């Protein structure tokens, strides 16, 4: 109970209301003491007026008046004359004098709590102003025990009333919190639990109904999360099915390409100079195709092989890509520019780096071809103390907003109609295996630039 939100709210409400009542109690008890003393002064004044009306009062009647007023002596100053109007024996010396005419709020509060703290029955003198201008001042002497007893009785009644108010208020707030907060929160938790148990069941998706704005925002955020997660799970399922199909195709394609490798061995023995010049490139292309099929099979099993690190002559690797892309048929002239310094060596997996650069260059070339205007793709590289930096820049039309928002996301990051968006996703995954990153450095009407960072040393960023 106390560990629940409503239980803790109940306790806190009770505590805070009691604290507020205590803050009210402090001036209240001071006010009660002031009223008590003022009442004794007024009673004493009435008794004095009786004496003024009849100077010859019997001793018994005078004692009765003093007892009714609750005082020992009454002094009234009228017309600058200080007169002892009523008197009786005082059992002890006067212990303190309080002038109610000059006291401020803090003084009254301090006097009240000192009175409560003191158990000693003392005789005090109290000075005040007579009511209805019946003189200049009135002064009485009285005991403190009855005053303290009355203050304690008043304080107990105030505290009991405060406790009743606190409990009643807390119960009302407890019911309100359960109705307006706890119950809707439990509803949100229930939706979360049902969705976690069966994400594919659309009945587990929350429908926002809360009237409280904060809870409404929480429900809408949960609705968005559940919707996006459901879409992601469905896409993952489709990707798993697609991966299985691609793996089967790649298996058969690998066998076909392996047979093609055997035929290329004989082609290399041809006497035709053109054939002898092109045969090595054909062999390399078929070898890469076989490696790609084997990698696809591993990817279909969610086992993308880790990169095999070696020192890669990057300029020669980019030159192979440029020559391969130059052979692609196209009605638009696209120049592939190799701006990599000769002799630059990178540390990485040569086959995976080939696939990364090839994907970026091919995407850039296809974007330029789609415009129908000639253009160029430039591959450059540099290094510093921490990393190698590779840039692939094109003069294409730039990436649209939707493509920028879904970069490196399979089936969503393509800027070309009918594209799958797998090229960037594959490139990003392979570079992450090297401990690096692929980022979109710039895009706009003048073209786009992708930048690759490959860390040196142990591969940490």
Q: Which of 209, 153, 155 is nearest to 184 (CA)?
A: 209
Domain 307-455, CATH number (from 3.40.640.10, 1.10.357.10, 3.40.50.300, 3.30.565.10):
3.30.565.10
Distance CA 289, CA 281 (A): 12
Distance CA 454, CA 390 (A): 8
Residue-level pLDDT at 454: 94
Task: Map out the domains of the chain as residue ranges.
Answer: 5-169, 212-305, 307-455
Residue-level pLDDT at 31: 87
The DSSP code for 100 is T
Q: Which of 183, 234, 225, 179 is nearest to 204 (CA)?
A: 225
Distance CA 311, CA 57 (A): 126
Number of helical H runs and strand E runs in the chain: 11, 12
Distance CA 396, CA 332 (A): 12
CB atoms within 10 A of CB 180: 13
Residue-level pLDDT at 276: 65
Q: Can you state the percent helix, strand and coil of the chain, rounding each to 5?
A: 60, 15, 25
The CA radius of gyration of the chain, in Å to the nearest whole number, is 48
Residue with tokens 């009302």: 172
Residue-level pLDDT at 247: 61
Q: Which of 352, 348, 355 is nearest to 435 (CA)?
A: 348
Distance CA 365, CA 392 (A): 11
Give average pLDDT by consecutive 10-residue segment, the chain, 461 residues.
64 76 81 86 74 57 72 76 75 87 85 88 87 73 90 88 79 78 79 78 75 78 82 73 63 59 62 68 69 57 69 94 80 91 93 90 88 93 93 91 76 48 78 91 92 78 36
Residue-level pLDDT at 323: 86
Cα separations (Å) of 26 from 21, 42, 233, 315, 330?
Answer: 9, 25, 63, 87, 93
Residue-level pLDDT at 292: 63
């Amino acid at each position: 109970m106390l560990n629940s939100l409503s239980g803790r709210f109940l306790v806190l409400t009770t505590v805070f209301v009691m604290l507020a009542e205590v803050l009210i109690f402090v001036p209240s008890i001071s006010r009660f003491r002031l009223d008590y003393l003022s009442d004794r002064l007024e009673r004493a004044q009435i008794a004095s007026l009786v004496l003024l009306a009849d100077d010859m009062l019997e001793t018994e009647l005078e004692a009765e008046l003093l007892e009714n007023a609750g005082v020992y002596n009454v002094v009234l100053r009228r017309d600058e004359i200080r007169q002892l109007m009523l008197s009786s024996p005082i059992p002890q010396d006067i212990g303190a004098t309080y002038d109610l005419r000059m006291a401020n709020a803090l003084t009254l509060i301090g006097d009240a709590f000192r009175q409560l703290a003191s158990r000693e029955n003392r005789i005090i003198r109290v000075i005040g102003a007579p009511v209805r201008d019946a003189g200049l001042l009135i002064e009485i002497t009285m005991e403190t025990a009855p005053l303290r007893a009355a203050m304690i009785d008043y304080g107990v009644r105030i505290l009991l009333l405060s406790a009743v108010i606190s409990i009643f208020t807390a119960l009302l707030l407890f019911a309100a919190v359960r109705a307006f907060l706890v119950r809707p929160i439990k509803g949100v938790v229930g939706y979360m639990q049902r969705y976690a148990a069966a994400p594919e069941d659309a009945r587990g998706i929350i429908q926002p109904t809360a009237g409280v704005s904060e809870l409404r925002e929480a429900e809408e955020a949960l609705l968005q999360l559940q919707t996006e997660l459901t879409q992601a799970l469905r896409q993952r399922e489709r990707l798993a099915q697609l991966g299985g199909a691609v793996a089967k195709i790649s298996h058969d394609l690998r066998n076909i390409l392996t047979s093609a490798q055997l035929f290329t061995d004989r082609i290399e023995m041809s006497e035709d100079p053109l054939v002898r010049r092109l045969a090595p490139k054909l062999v390399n292309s078929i070898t890469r195709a076989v490696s790609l099929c084997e990698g696809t099979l591993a990817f279909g099993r969610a086992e993308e092989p880790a990169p095999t690190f070696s020192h890669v002559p990057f300029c020669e690797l980019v030159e192979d890509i440029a020559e391969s892309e130059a052979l692609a048929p196209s009605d638009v002239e696209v120049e592939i520019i190799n701006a990599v310094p000769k002799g630059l060596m990178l540390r990485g997996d040569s086959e995976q780096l080939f696939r990364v650069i090839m994907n970026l260059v091919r995407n850039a070339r296809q974007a330029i071809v789609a415009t129908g205007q000639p253009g160029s793709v430039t591959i450059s590289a540099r290094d510093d103390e921490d990393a190698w930096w590779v840039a692939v820049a094109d003069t294409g039309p730039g990436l649209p907003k939707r493509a920028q928002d879904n970069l490196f996301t399979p089936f969503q990051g393509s800027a070309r109609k009918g594209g799958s968006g797998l090229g960037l996703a594959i490139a990003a995954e392979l570079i992450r295996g090297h401990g690096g990153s692929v980022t979109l450095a710039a895009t706009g009407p003048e073209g786009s630039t992708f930048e690759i960072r490959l860390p040196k040393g142990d591969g940490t960023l």
